[in-house]
Chains A and B, each alone.
Chain A
């Protein structure tokens, strides 16, 4: 099964509300990253959090990491219609091949 599992698979909220997406993983990591993908396009890197960090902010984005629970969350505050996209977490495994392992994503829809 996937290293990163995201929850929920789909989320629909009203513009201005906050959106929270979660990612769980199975093995120890060096870092965890979040990416955004607009429909039919490539992924765009949003934020990286290292295994020794607990929280990170970037603009309206807040990411938390709990290594004891092997989970991370991405919070988007004051959502906008332009935030409509799929969001993926990706884990850089501490052991094994040099590669990122992507989750299946959360499809976020912001309703105007």
Chain B
């Protein structure tokens, strides 16, 4: 069953802690993206990667880090430098670099304890 898998579905972060959100895809897509969604808001781009071992900052990269060591995987780390991390995080992928038809995972809700 092809698609994008995000885990965990819910995550809690303590103050000063780094947490990592997982995103795995078996669609053989080159491009992968991380978006943040706040309640009642649209999506804001955190980081994106168009090819393995390369990634670019999006509009709100501060306090976040990513890696793209494998085509299938694009984990997002929310660092302690991100002072307002509570949000719904969405991972997406697309088959080429042309930004056509993104496939999304089911999201991770991150909350601060």
Residues of A within 8 A of B (CB): 2, 4, 30-31, 33, 35, 40-45, 48, 88, 90, 92, 97-105, 107
* Known pairs A48-B101, A100-B99; A43 contacts B42 (CB<8 A): no
Interface residue count on the B side (C-beta < 8 Å): 30
* A50 nearest CB neighbor, chain B only: B100
Please, which residues of chain B bring their CB within 8 A of the CB of A43? 43, 90, 92, 102, 104
CB<8 Å pairs between A and B, sample of 11 = A42-B4, A42-B105, A42-B107, A45-B101, A45-B102, A98-B31, A100-B99, A100-B102, A104-B40, A104-B41, A105-B42
Report yes or no: B97 in contact with A98, Cβ–Cβ below 8 A. yes
A10 → chain B closest CB, angstroms: 10
Highest count of chain B CB atoms <10 Å: which of A30, A42, A92: A42
Residues of B within 8 A of A (CB): 4, 6, 31, 33, 35, 40-45, 48, 50, 56, 58, 88, 90, 92, 97-107, 109
* B43 nearest CB neighbor, chain A only: A102
* Known pairs A31-B100, A41-B107, A42-B106; A98 contacts B42 (CB<8 A): no
Report yes or no: B41 in contact with A99, Cβ–Cβ below 8 A. no
B79 → chain A closest CB, angstroms: 22
Report yes or no: A98 in contact with B106, Cβ–Cβ below 8 A. no
| A67 and B77 alpha carbons, distance in the complex (Å) | 39
Please, which residues of chain B bring their CB within 8 A of the CB of A98? 31, 48, 50, 97-99
* Known pairs A43-B90, A97-B56; A102 contacts B99 (CB<8 A): no
B28 → chain A closest CB, angstroms: 17
Report yes or no: A99 in contact with B58, Cβ–Cβ below 8 A. yes
Please, which residues of chain A bring their CB within 8 A of the CB of B44? 102
Task: Choose from A40, A41, A104 the contact partner of B42 (Cβ within 8 Å).
Answer: A104
Report yes or no: A102 in contact with B104, Cβ–Cβ below 8 A. no
* Known pairs A31-B100, A48-B101, A99-B45; A40 contacts B50 (CB<8 A): no
Report yes or no: A45 in contact with B103, Cβ–Cβ below 8 A. yes
Report yes or no: A42 in contact with B104, Cβ–Cβ below 8 A. yes
A44 → chain B closest CB, angstroms: 7
